Structure 1
Amino acid sequence: MSGKVRHQLFLSGPLSEKLEALAARPGASKSAILEDAVTAWLNRRGASELEDRFSCRLDRMTLALGRIDRDTQVILETLALFIRFELSIQSPLSEGDHAGRALGAKRFEAFVQQVGRQVAGGRRTLIPAKEGQP
């Protein structure tokens, strides 16, 4: 009994009868049964507190990841359709068309700069700006 602390408990009549019946079995004691029950209850409560603390955050993160996945799929599909469309209507430039190639390089540079400005400013082309945002 060393290292153990004595507690006085009050149980309802029916619960006390159930405890007596369990303790009457060979190899069982009231102390062992109550110790196991209290340990299990405390472990469940500790796990529940952790779950309560993190479940809200995990739910928000799951929703955010779902939106990111959906947006990425839309962007990839849009890009694929745009590339297919452009390749089907644009004829290739000839090797000697330096003016056409220079214009293409200029347009590409303008496109890259515009993407950079949009990303740096936090603006999105396909999603309308919220109130108070440019």
Structure 2
Amino acid sequence: MKTFKTRHQFYLPDDLSKRLEGLAAKPGSSKTTILTDALRSWLDRKAGDEFDQRFGPRLDRQMRASNRMEVRLDHVVAVLELFVAHQMTLVAHQPPIDEVTGRLGRARYDRFMGQVERTLAARGGKSQPGVGGDA
């Protein structure tokens, strides 16, 4: 009858041998099971190290790029918050907007959004500092 196991003979230091004897003395355990589990665990950890060595640098680069993007986005949000607060302060004591002023404001907003669209289209997804376009 084939057992699908290979016999190995090796020497252990006395202190490890005593510890192995103590573990194997517990009911339901054997030296073979203990050494098999220990060796499998050790080899699996080594495979994890290989994974880290192969993919770790790439993942690190991606993480750094992601962190840079997050910092840039935080800056944009901070500038936008400041701009909105400034604008709200400027218009806080102005009289209500009449129809002509509302149309003018809407036209300016539409031109502004058109400029934003053109700028983003010109960049083609590239990250470039500053905002270009016509004024």
Unaligned runs of 5+ in 2: none
Aligned equivalent of 2:98: 95
For 1:75 and 1:107, how far apart are their aligned partners in 2? Answer: 22
Normalising by structure 1, what TM-score? 0.64
Aligned equivalent of 2:118: 117
Can you list the C-alpha shifts for 1:60-102, whole angstroms capped at 9, x where unaligned?
3332332232222211221121122223334356425x1x333
Tell whether the 8 Å contact from 1:93 to 1:101 is kept in structure 2 after alignment: no
How many angstroms does 1:115 deviate by?
1.0
Is the counterpart of residue 6 in structure 1 residue 9 in structure 2? Answer: no
Aligned equivalent of 1:40: 41
1:21 corresponds, among 18, 22, 29, to: 18
Is the counterpart of residue 55 in structure 1 residue 56 in structure 2? Answer: yes
For 1:83 and 1:45, how far apart are their aligned partners in 2? Answer: 54
Unaligned runs of 5+ in 1: 130-134
Q: Comparing both chains, which one has the higher relative contact order based on Cα–Cα distances under 8 Å and sequence gaps of 6 or more?
A: 2
Tell whether the 8 Å contact from 1:20 to 1:30 is kept in structure 2 after alignment: no
Amino acid aligned to 1:67: R
For 1:24 and 1:121, how far apart are their aligned partners in 2? Answer: 74
How many angstroms does 1:111 deviate by?
0.7
CA RMSD of aligned residues (A): 3.3
How many angstroms does 1:41 deviate by?
1.6
Normalising by structure 2, what TM-score? 0.63
With over 3 angstroms needed to count, the CA separation of the structure-2 counterparts of 1:77 and 1:29, relative to structure 1, is: closer
Aligned equivalent of 2:66: 65
Partner SS state of residue 5, structure 1: coil
Amino acid aligned to 1:5: K
Aligned equivalent of 1:132: none
For 1:78 and 1:93, how far apart are their aligned partners in 2? Answer: 27
How many angstroms does 1:38 deviate by?
1.8
